[in-house]
Chain A
Amino acid sequence: MMDGQALVLSLQLAVVTLLVLLPGGLWLGRILAVRRFPGKSLIEALVVLPLVLPPTVLGYYLLVAMGGASPLGRFFMDTFGLTLTFNFLGLVIASVIFNIPFMVQPVQRAFEAIPENLNEAAAVSGLSAWQTFLRVQLPLAWPGILTAVVLTFVHTLGEFGVVLMVGGSIPGDTKTVAIAIYDRVQAFDLASADRMALLLLTLSLVAVAASFLTAARMARRRGS
């Protein structure tokens, strides 16, 4: 049967990750698109890193960095009385980190694609930097931002390695739907695994296709 608890947990994780990552991702993606500064290539490399590292390697380092013996882990324990591993909070932190490339890269590309003369036209029209961002850049970058949001959401639903390393598989706490599928396969309950896998597949496909369709429609409407 379908593991409802795992599904709800996965959806919660995806929503919280998105809420945490979106403001910072927008900020970083835009800075990388419009500014030149020393060390930019290094930051761009760090942004891509979670994409190319094996999830278990990323998960391992996060486990070491956030574990009770680490300075970060001790700080959180001493200050807030919280542990950062094998609970939902740890999952959120790990999830935000492994989703950075999925959020930042489409946002960066979207802001890069805005012709510079539109920013200049906004300036000579008397718009402040903030007004230009809200009224020109954000609407024009919107298809890219939508893609980033969908990719992050879907990727969080499906992530396995990092979640298992940092969170383990505690039902109701850290056992996400991707882990539940693995669990069911291990128990030879292929019927349940089948249902959950099909649900993830459908959800992911529909979300990605819908976002691409919306982006293409917007681009066509603007003739770009």
Chain B
Amino acid sequence: MAHELVVDIRQTGSIPLRGALRCAPGELVALIGASGAGKTSFLRAVAGLIPVTSGIVRVGEDIWCDTERRICMPVAQRHVGFVFQNYALMPHLNALENVALSLLHLSTRARLAEAARWLDKLALTADEQRRLPQQLSGGQQQRVALARALVRSPKVLLMDEPFSAVDYLNRKTLYRVLQELQRELSLPVVLVTHDLQEAQRLANRLVVMENGVLSDDLPDTDPLIPPQAVV
């Protein structure tokens, strides 16, 4: 059962940030803004990859970070799915092993089977699954990164400019894949993008980040806007 992601954080120092955001299960919020506005830093702070000066990050009753109560859950325990801008796939592992790396709590056989199930679902052939990342196209690497983020049943999916290195045709297919997964998994999804068209196409809601400040003032009961149909 997925829960709502609630973020209200402040960050001082070299990258000053201030941002509040709510994202319901099954909702896709696009975080837009000019480059250097702090979108990626905000996403990284939510994941726990950079420390938060003050504030709270929680998913349902699960508190990931609460500076007042001195709670800061380590990244590895947050069960967050994160898709990096350049995928950050392990260059020494093939696609299957990259995905299976998220499942170290399972036996080797079980994790390879589960990884294969996800890669099958994302339409990578058995042959492609055995290739190293640099032997795959940008779109295929993207699918591996997405499978790796989702295979561990994350509570939240965070995506940092995931389509920026993919050509137009592949991008359209990936949009469809993402929308299907979003419907199926019903997770809170936050997508960072600088592409307004992409944001409008995929997101239920857009929030703008400007000079490190993000404000998402929608009340909890705000009805969700349905995503635009894929053409």
Contact = CB atoms under 8 A, between A and B. Distances in A.
Interface string A113-154: 001011011111111100100011001100000000000000
A221 interface: yes
A117 B102 contact: no
Given A117-B86, A126-B79, A222-B134, A139 B92 contact: yes
B91 A135 contact: no
Nearest to B78: A124
B102 A120 contact: no
Identify the interface centre among A121, A131, A135, A136: most chain B CB within 10 Å of its CB.
Answer: A121
B91 A121 contact: no
B91 A125 contact: no
B187 interface: no
A127 B134 CA distance: 23
B101 A122 contact: yes
B154 to A, nearest CB: 9
Nearest to B134: A223
B132 interface: yes
Nearest to A115: B88
A124 B82 contact: yes
Given A125-B102, A125-B148, A126-B76, A120 B88 contact: yes
A132 to B, nearest CB: 9
Contacts of A123: 49, 74-76
B113 to A, nearest CB: 17
B178 interface: no
Given A125-B101, A125-B148, A120 B76 contact: no
A137 to B, nearest CB: 11
A136 B88 CA distance: 12
A140 to B, nearest CB: 6
Contacts, number: 67
Interface in A191-224: 221-224
A125 B153 CA distance: 11
A222 B84 contact: no
Contacts of A125: 76, 101-102, 148, 152
Given A126-B102, A126-B104, A127-B101, A120 B84 contact: yes
Contacts of A126: 76-77, 79, 102, 104-105, 152
Contacts of A115: 88
A130 to B, nearest CB: 11
Nearest to A127: B76
Contact of B80 (A118, A124, A139): A124
A36 to B, nearest CB: 14
A117 B92 CA distance: 15
B90 interface: yes
Identify the interface centre among A123, A140, A221: most chain B CB within 10 Å of its CB.
Answer: A123
Contacts of B133: 223
Nearest to A125: B102
Contacts of B132: 221-223
A139 B76 CA distance: 20
B31 interface: no
A139 B91 CA distance: 10
A124 B92 contact: no
B47 interface: yes
A74 B221 CA distance: 79
A127 B79 CA distance: 11
Nearest to A222: B91
A221 B135 CA distance: 10
Contacts of B49: 120, 123-124
24 contacts: A117-B86, A118-B90, A120-B49, A120-B75, A121-B82, A124-B47, A124-B76, A124-B149, A125-B101, A125-B148, A126-B105, A126-B152, A127-B101, A131-B104, A136-B90, A140-B92, A221-B132, A222-B91, A222-B92, A222-B132, A222-B134, A223-B91, A223-B132, A223-B135
Query: What 9 A-B pairs have minimum CB-CB distances, sorted nearest first?
Result: A223-B134, A121-B88, A125-B102, A123-B75, A117-B88, A222-B91, A124-B82, A139-B92, A126-B76
Interface of A: 115, 117-118, 120-128, 131, 135-136, 139-140, 221-224
